[in-house]
Amino acid sequence: MAVNGRPKILPWLLAAPAVVLLVLVLAGVFRTGPSTDDAPWQESRAAVPARPPPAPGPRTAPAAVAAVGTDAGLAPVAEAAPSETPARHPVDLEKLRALLPGNLYWEMGVPTKDPEVLRKRDEEGRRWNELYGKVQSNTATEQEIHQYYEHRRKLSEDSIAFASAVLEQFGPQLPEQEQGLYALSIQMHRTRLEELPRQIEEALARKSAQDQRREAWRRGGGGN
């Protein structure tokens, strides 16, 4: 039986480029990369000068979890002259990890070059995209529908918690552009949380209608 549509890319993935473009226009310092689902974290750090004496590397700073579904990306906050010592970014990731030990940022967004971690993130992203396709085509079970939207809820709640913690702990020390990005993240995910009940109800209603059509088709001899 025909379904209502082909699996599509997650709508929040379509919103991610717009958010990144906004950040690029305002600050010209951020970039994003692929990730799992809605999640989307970015990362910024001070540039390493070309010829300084050996010194501890600058602390990296997590950017807002605004572009859901994107992985962490690294971009310089400011270029330092060769004779200058790179400035340390005020955001302390270890302090945030202690405050938010179970946050999805540590699993899906924290910067890494580990190929195994990146591979697992890519697999996780494909898994949620495939489940979203089933929800959109009305082929997902009720359990799968609830599973998908529970993941969306967890992602948005963790995104809000992460961005809020950054602003509460380090906001006054951050550039205005970064503060604005975190604030935008909070606003976007609050809106998504408000929309979840309606989206769940609509997905379940579409599935119910599709099941009824399939049953009527079977009773009419379509299954013979």
DSSP string, 164-221: HHHHHHHGGGS-HHHHHHHHHHHHHHHHHHHHHHHHHHHHHHHHHHHHHHHHHHIIII
Q: Is 2 a member of any domain?
A: no
For residue 180, which phi and psi values (nearest 5 degrees)? -65, -35
For residue 188, which phi and psi values (nearest 5 degrees)? -65, -45
Location of structure tokens 């963790």: 158
Q: Is 6 a member of any domain?
A: no
Q: Report helix, strand or coil for 43.
A: strand
pLDDT greater than 60 at residue 55: no
Q: Is 148 a member of any domain?
A: yes
Token reading at 150:
């529970």
Question: 78-95 burial by CB neighbour count: b if 16+ within 10 A, else e?
Answer: eebeeeeebeebbbbbee
Beta bridge partners of 69: 39
d(C-alpha 155, C-alpha 147), whole Å: 12
Q: Is 160 a member of any domain?
A: yes
203 vs 3: which has the higher pLDDT: 203
Location of structure tokens 């550039």: 175
Q: Is 15 a member of any domain?
A: yes
Q: Is 73 a member of any domain?
A: yes
At 101, the pLDDT band (50, 70, 90 cuts) reads: very high
Give me the domain span that covers residue 190.
11-48+59-222
Mean pLDDT for the chain overall: 74
As for how many domains the chain has, the answer is 1
First to last CA, the chain: 13
Beta bridge partners of 43: 62, 74
Q: Is 1 a member of any domain?
A: no
Q: What is the mean pLDDT of residues 41-56?
A: 41
Query: pTM higher than 0.85 for the full model?
Result: no
Q: Is 184 a member of any domain?
A: yes
